[in-house]
Amino acid sequence: MAYTIRRLQPTDAAALFRLRQSPGVVRNTLQQPFQSLAATQAFLDNYPETSHALVACTESGELVGCGGLHLPGHSLRRRHSALFFLFVRDDWQGKGVGSALLRAVLDYADNWLDLKRIELDAVHDNHGAIALYERFGFRHEGVSRGFNLREGVYEDAVLMARLRFREGELGEPLGASSHQAVERVPAGSPFSLRHAEPGDAAGMAALMAHDSTYGNTLQLPYPTAAQWQKRLARHGGTVLVACDAGGALIGHCGSWAPHDNPRLAHIVGVGISVAPAWQGRGVGSALLSAMVQQVRDYQPYRRMELTVFADNAAAIALYRKLGFQQEALLKGDAFQAGQYRDCLQMALALK
């Protein structure tokens, strides 16, 4: 059957509301049951510029499916990637709607956005969807354990991606030799931990000015104190810092809720950076241990997750020491030193 593919519009609110309420859509995606039509209309009226949604309509104009891309607008070093989503109304599944939408979305991504990496997560037992994605070139990268709360159970999600890197764009691991050599402080040098304060902005900017700190995160070079002042003011999670004996900031560890979807409210993200002179001196271990303990003992999260460049051996060893497990190898996940490089997704079960 042929379908008309067009862009999702604010006038589609009622049809999208019905689509998102289909029992199969709720079960196999991250939709919430019992949504309101008013909330759906408000969502479409303020649809984010970083998302692109297409719909499939029958010959009579009935909207029976929706698919599209969410671009990571917060991270310029991942602007080559997008998260794919797809909903097909229960009574129209198995009739080619998903294939029509997926074909159109990939054409849009390849020929008009020039995206290199399209990624998705599928509930582990949604075998029909997984088979569809495989037919369109998506490959398995790993499994997120306990990712999606569904009917009272934390279900695993299969991570998949379709790659479109040109020759020479997908880089080899950099390794530690790519960073500038620095003199380390003596082993056993004292340091202390505390919560971050607004006055730490200048120290945070200085910490993230080193290539071995911003390079191994998704930050950009040349940070300013004003940028960090804003980040500290609006940060919705927990930020711990490490200071040397003189009070200078030498490392930080932050945790945050990476999703605003209630079905993912049990997940917390974490990131850590340590000044080059203090790397290998126990600062990272102390910061991350304190963060894990605080989140585990005093916050309701069940899963802590992170991504790390696949060649950052020291960081990976630290995460493994504290119980993080590798879940996936994400090919060409982030831009680093002029090329797209692989990352690992790792996670820790907190409860």
Fold assignment, 4-163: Aminopeptidase (3.40.630)
Place of tokens 């020929």: 111
Say yes or no to pLDDT of 325 above 80: yes
Bridge partners, residue 191, by sequence: 244
What digits encode the pLDDT tens for the residues 244-290?
999 999 999 999 999 999 999 999 999 999 999 999 999 999 999 99
Q: What number of H helices and E strands is found in the chain? A: 10, 14
The pLDDT, as a whole number, for residue 126 is 97
Name the pLDDT band for 155 (thresholds 50, 70, 90): very high
Residue 209, by phi and psi: left (phi above 0), alpha (psi -120 to 50) or beta? alpha
Task: Please report the sign of the dihedral spanned by the C-alpha atoms of residue 32, residue 38, residue 44, residue 48.
Answer: negative
For 327, phi and psi rounded to 5 degrees? Answer: -110, -30
The pLDDT, as a whole number, for residue 285 is 98
Q: Are 82 and 68 in contact (CB under 8 A)?
A: no
Task: Please report the sign of the dihedral spanned by the C-alpha atoms of residue 306, residue 160, residue 343, residue 218.
Answer: negative
- Residue range 122-137: mean pLDDT, rounded: 98
What digits encode the pLDDT tens for the residues 209-251?
998 899 999 999 999 999 999 888 887 789 999 999 999 999 9
User: Which residue would you say has higher pLDDT here, 346 or 236?
Assistant: 346
Q: Rounded to 5 degrees, what angle do the CA atoms 293, 297, 298 make?
A: 115
Tokens of 232: 């500290």
**Which residues of the chain are in CATH 3.40.630.30 domains?**
4-163, 188-349
Q: At what angle do helices 127-135 and 97-108 cross, to 10 degrees?
A: 40
Residue burial 254-271, b: 16+ Cβ < 10 Å; e: rest? bbebeeeeebbebbbbbb
Closest CA to 65 of 34, 118, 24, 106: 24
d(CA 268, CA 291): 11
d(CA 198, CA 346): 30
- pTM of the entire structure? 0.93
Place of tokens 């129209």: 92
Tokens of 9: 């519009």
Q: Is 42 helix (H, G, I), strand (E, B) or coil?
A: helix
CATH class of 188-349: alpha beta
How many beta carbons lie within 10 A of that of residue 10, not counting itself?
A: 13
d(CA 346, CA 93): 34
Alpha-carbon Rg for the chain, nearest whole angstrom, is 22
